[in-house]
Structure 1
Amino acid sequence: MRRLIALLGLLSLLFSLVACGDSSDDNGDSGASGGLEAVSVTGDVGKAPKVTWNSAVSSDKLDTDVLVAGDGDEVAKGDQVSVNIWIGNGFTKKQVFSSYDKGGAPETITVDDAQIFKALYVALEGQTVGSRVLVVSPPADAFGDQGNATLSIGNTDHVVFVVDIMKKIVVLDGPQGAEQTPPPNAPKLVEKGGVPTGFDFSASAKKPGTKLRIVPLIKGDGDKVTNGQNITVNYLGQVYGTKTVFDESFSKTPFSTTIGTGSVIKGWDQGLVGQTVGSRVILVIPPDLAYGPKGQGTIPGNATLTFVVDILSAS
């Protein structure tokens, strides 16, 4: 369901392996070598770094250097952090990405070596908030032997990262706020041991309406979710009026995505923006705000979808 909900976004460009050709040969110096000494980085944390190339990078060792040691909390595995990232191609000696180019808006990352590649993981785990970390990575510890075509990184190109750790993000364990009384004709949430397992539609209309329906179950006591934020949620989705639960995250790990920008289905964008962190809401989403006449995977065409969503963080 995560792939059904989420469309291709910036983080997938950075942290997914995508097909790529061989290393490019323009402006590179294949005879030069170097690890950390191949680059010099100056500038303040929170501002775009100035990177000077002393040579191309060809060291097969993953090297890190804490350029600025922050005085904030230590980052541990499983934490969510807000970071700014600069990426350079160690072969062509060119910048290929910088979050500072879009106004310095940080990216939200879960520090989990099962979700992000090793070079980024070692830049974060064990470091402190406020730090700037330089990483020089061989291909295998960055984008792998396929490289990243979107970032113009070949399959044998070394990669340089400058990572600014801006803050840790508090992620709730579950909904937190005031319970709400749903209308009697709303789908009834079924739980086992306090964990959602599905919906009971016996008291609901046999034919759902054609408009998005939002049913608050818990009014969160956190801040409102706004367009463009990265949110972390737990969810369960079921085809309306059936026993088909097509996916859920409660037995796995919470799901993070950008909201209000088209990275998810329209029903999520419209239904979750404006809610507050800590909320639990039911969304009854008509087909035109979900997957339409074609459906998706096990979801049939023209299906109305019913979700319960716990909003655990927004940043």
Structure 2
Amino acid sequence: MSRRLRRLPAILLPLVLAGTLAACGDDEGGSGSDDALHGITISGDVGKAPEVEWDGKLEVDKTETTVVTEGDGDEVKEGDQVSANIWIGNGYSQEKAYSTYDEGGKPEQFTASNDLSPVFRDAILGHTVGSRVAVTTTATEAFGESGNSQMGIAPDDSVLMVVDIMDIVVVLDGPQGDEQKAPKWAPDLVVDGDKVTGLDFTGTPEPDGKLRSAALIEGDGDKVTKGQTITVNYLGQVYKAKKPFDESYSREPASFAIGVGQVVSGWDKTLVGATVGSRMIIAIPPADGYGKQGNPDAGIKGTDTLYFVVDILAAS
């Protein structure tokens, strides 16, 4: 479903996800030695784009990890949801190849788990919030045998990655707060244990073309503000449809920026101001969803009203 959720940029997927990557790490399996940066100087404050001075072409044949700045926050542990900024340079050309700081400094969120590539996992796990960690590696270890053409990194190039660990985000296991009476316009939830599996429209009145939202559980956390990254579980179903067109309860929670146009406007307008821990029910008319064109890939027509249940599990 396009423009639904903020996913990892495709350009970053081979670096972050483990599937296509070779195993890596220095010979001792830990952080690199004092010369692991091969004469490269990295300066600037954590949370701002790093200033990198190269010492000629970066020549490496293995992956080494160096803590440039050690933060005084909590240590990242297995299973933590981590917010981090990433800067990547091409060691052959000594030029920047990618930076989250070019996108307004909005960090990406990752779960510290075995799903991460060894290159990225070693830059995150065991390090503390507020740290800046640098990794020197080969293009093939970072991105696979083909390198990364989108970043202009060829298979024979070397790579410098700088990771700023911004925060550990507390993600709830489910909604947390006070139950509220469901509004008359809302369908019933179909649940299996703690998971929402569908919506039952029996007795639900015809949509009236208005954007509507209500809290089925009023969360006891902070209010969501415009520009924050929120983590949610969700399920979406067209009015009177027999099954959902999309959901996350059978997968992992999804993270995306809210209130800035990265999702359908019906979400931006209703989730900003809701509280963390809330379970929201939302009715979205076409004007606040996919418009007259609908979303054929999801089986959504331009006249369909969309209903969502959204559990707000975190905001940062």
Cα deviation per residue 1:152-199 (whole Å; 9 max; x = unaligned)? 334443221111212211111111112111123321112122321111
Deviation of 1:138 (Å): 1.4
Cα 1:122/1:223, change in 2 over 3 Å: same
Find the counterpart in structure 2 of residue 144 from structure 1. 144
Cα deviation per residue 1:98-119 (whole Å; 9 max; x = unaligned)? 44456655443332443x5442
Letter in 2 for 1:165: I
Total equivalences in the alignment? 295
TM-score (norm 1): 0.84
1:35–1:58 CA contact under 8 A, matched in 2: no
2:14–2:143 CA contact under 8 A, matched in 1: yes
Deviation of 1:61 (Å): 1.0
Structure 1 residue runs without a partner (length 5+): 19-33
Find the counterpart in structure 1 of residue 123 from structure 2. 123
1:177 aligns with 2:170: no
Cα 1:180/1:141, change in 2 over 3 Å: farther
Deviation of 1:52 (Å): 1.5
Find the counterpart in structure 1 of residue 239 from structure 2. 240
Deviation of 1:92 (Å): 0.8
Structure 2 residue runs without a partner (length 5+): 16-34
1:184–1:203 CA contact under 8 A, matched in 2: no
Deviation of 1:230 (Å): 0.9
2:134–2:163 CA contact under 8 A, matched in 1: yes
Deviation of 1:284 (Å): 1.1
Deviation of 1:37 (Å): 0.8
Find the counterpart in structure 2 of residue 231 from structure 1. 230
2:36–2:65 CA contact under 8 A, matched in 1: no
Cα 1:113/1:93, change in 2 over 3 Å: farther
Letter in 2 for 1:45: V
Cα 1:190/1:69, change in 2 over 3 Å: same
1:196 aligns with 2:196: yes
Find the counterpart in structure 2 of residue 85 from structure 1. 86
Letter in 2 for 1:267: G
Cα deviation per residue 1:278-298 (whole Å; 9 max; x = unaligned)? 110011111232233342324
Find the counterpart in structure 2 of residue 157 from structure 1. 157
Find the counterpart in structure 1 of residue 266 from structure 2. 267
Task: State the alpha-carbon separation in 2 of the partners of residues 50 and 248 from structure 1.
Answer: 41
1:252 aligns with 2:251: yes
Matches within 5 A, 1:1-315: 1=1, 5-6=4-5, 11-17=8-14, 36-100=37-101, 104-114=105-115, 116-205=116-205, 207-292=206-291, 293-302=293-302, 303-315=304-316
2:5–2:255 CA contact under 8 A, matched in 1: no
1:239–1:299 CA contact under 8 A, matched in 2: no
Task: State the alpha-carbon separation in 1 of the partners of residues 239 and 183 from structure 2.
Answer: 17
| Residues 78-87 or 221-230, more deviating | 78-87
